[in-house]
């Protein structure tokens, strides 16, 4: 149960943090259609996060932070609003500060290609909740991927400026791609126990998809090297970058100011 909870938290934190970053685009996108599309992506991921955090709490109540007596916050909110940065288990790709629209395009593309490759297998999870989340999520992620892939190609083939920006964003994010496929011991155990997916096993499938997009965009595979962690630890180990604690300071400010609040 501890492994299931830890595994569900990883998947949930990925979605929660990525959703937050994407939601920052609301009212800031290049056009109304994109504002709507990005809000949609943020909403889908938020929905995934809620189900996964709830699953984690149900699997092992000890992962849920203890709130002041009388707090009516449900477990999903206790987990989202009352953990510190080092308790979060998301991959570092999700947490970076937002850049320009090219950055958003590449980030959503990498994130959803990876997540989709994993979740296609997660549909066969022995945990019925995870399996159900994955069945629904796969459809959502396919939409996210297609949206980002379309923009990836458009920007790459649009103007000189858009291509230049896209390439900068691609090279800037590529160093975080290998981390997505590292197998954390929790993930290994989850795969072993039949309810999780070893991300190491889906790299080939994910890269095959990505290569199609790169080919359509006429963009060569980046040669940027992997970004190392701190003492070998990365996002899955709770070792994050500076942007996450800043993001959480904002995200958690109202909830923490009113730990007994009803919302």
- 255's enclosing H/E stretch is helix 253-257
**Taking CB under 8 A as the criterion, which residues in 54-73 touch other proteins?**
72-73
54 is written with which tokens?
Answer: 């709830």
Task: Determine the interface stretch with other proteins among 112-120, 184-192, 205-213, 225-233 (rule: CB under 8 A).
Answer: 225-233
CB contact burial 24-36 (16+ within 10 A = b; e otherwise)? bbeeebeeeebee
Instruction: Choose among other proteins, a copy of itself, none what residue 191 binds, the Cβ cut-off being 5 to 8 Å by kind.
Output: none
Q: How far is the CB of 101 from a copy of itself (least distance, A)?
A: 21
Binding residue (CB under 8 A) for a copy of itself from 2, 84, 126, 230: 84
Beta carbons of 79 and 63 less than 8 angstroms apart: yes
- Our finding on whether 66 is near a copy of itself (CB under 8 A) is no
Q: Which of 155, 180, 202, 206 binds other proteins (CB under 8 A)?
A: 155
Angle between helices 101-122 and 203-217 in degrees, nearest 10 = 140
Q: Which of residues 8-27 bind other proteins (CB under 8 A)?
A: 16, 20, 23-24, 26-27
Q: Among 36, 246, 260, 261, indicate the residue that binds a copy of itself (CB under 8 A).
A: 246
157 binds other proteins per the rule CB under 8 A? yes
Q: Which of 142, 60, 149 minimizes the C-alpha distance to 134?
A: 142
Cβ contact 79:57 at 8 Å: yes
Instruction: Check residue 192 for interaction with a copy of itself (CB under 8 A).
Output: no
Shortest distance, position 124 Cβ to other proteins, whole Å? 27
Which structure tokens are listed for 236? 């899955």
Asked whether 256 and 82 are in contact (CB, 8 A), the reply is: yes
Per CB under 8 A, the list member of 193, 220, 253, 261 interacting with a copy of itself is 253
Site for a copy of itself contains 257 (CB under 8 A): yes
Among residues 46, 25, 47, 45, the alpha carbon closest in space to that of 36 is found at 25
Smallest distance from other proteins to CB 191, Å: 27
218 counts as binding other proteins under rule CB under 8 A: no
- Indicate the helix (H) or strand (E) that contains 86: none
Binding site for a copy of itself (CB under 8 A): 84, 246, 248-250, 252-254, 256-257
């Amino acid at each position: 149960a501890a492994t299931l909870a830890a595994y569900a938290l990883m998947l949930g934190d990925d979605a929660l943090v990525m959703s937050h970053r994407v939601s920052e685009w609301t009212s800031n996108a290049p056009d109304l259609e994109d504002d709507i599309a990005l809000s949609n992506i943020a909403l889908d991921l938020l929905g995934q996060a809620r189900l996964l955090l709830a699953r984690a709490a149900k699997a092992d109540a000890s992962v849920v932070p203890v709130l002041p007596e009388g707090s009516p916050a449900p477990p999903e909110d206790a987990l989202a609003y009352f953990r510190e940065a080092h308790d979060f288990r998301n991959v570092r790709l999700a947490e970076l500060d937002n850049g320009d629209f090219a950055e958003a395009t590449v980030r959503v593309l990498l994130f959803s290609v990876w997540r989709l490759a994993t979740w296609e297998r997660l549909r066969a999870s022995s945990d019925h909740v995870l399996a159900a989340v994955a069945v629904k999520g796969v459809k959502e992620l396919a939409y996210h991927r297609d949206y980002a892939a379309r923009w990836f190609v458009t920007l790459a083939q649009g103007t000189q400026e858009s291509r230049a920006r896209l390439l900068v964003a691609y090279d800037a994010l590529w160093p975080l791609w290998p981390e997505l496929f590292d197998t954390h011991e929790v993930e290994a155990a989850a795969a072993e126990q039949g309810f999780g997916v070893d991300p190491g096993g889906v790299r080939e499938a994910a890269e095959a998809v990505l290569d199609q997009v790169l080919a359509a965009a006429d963009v060569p595979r980046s040669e940027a090297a992997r970004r190392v962690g701190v003492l070998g630890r990365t996002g899955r180990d709770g070792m994050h970058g500076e942007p996450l604690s800043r993001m959480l300071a904002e995200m958690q400010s109202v909830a923490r100011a009113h730990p007994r609040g009803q919302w």
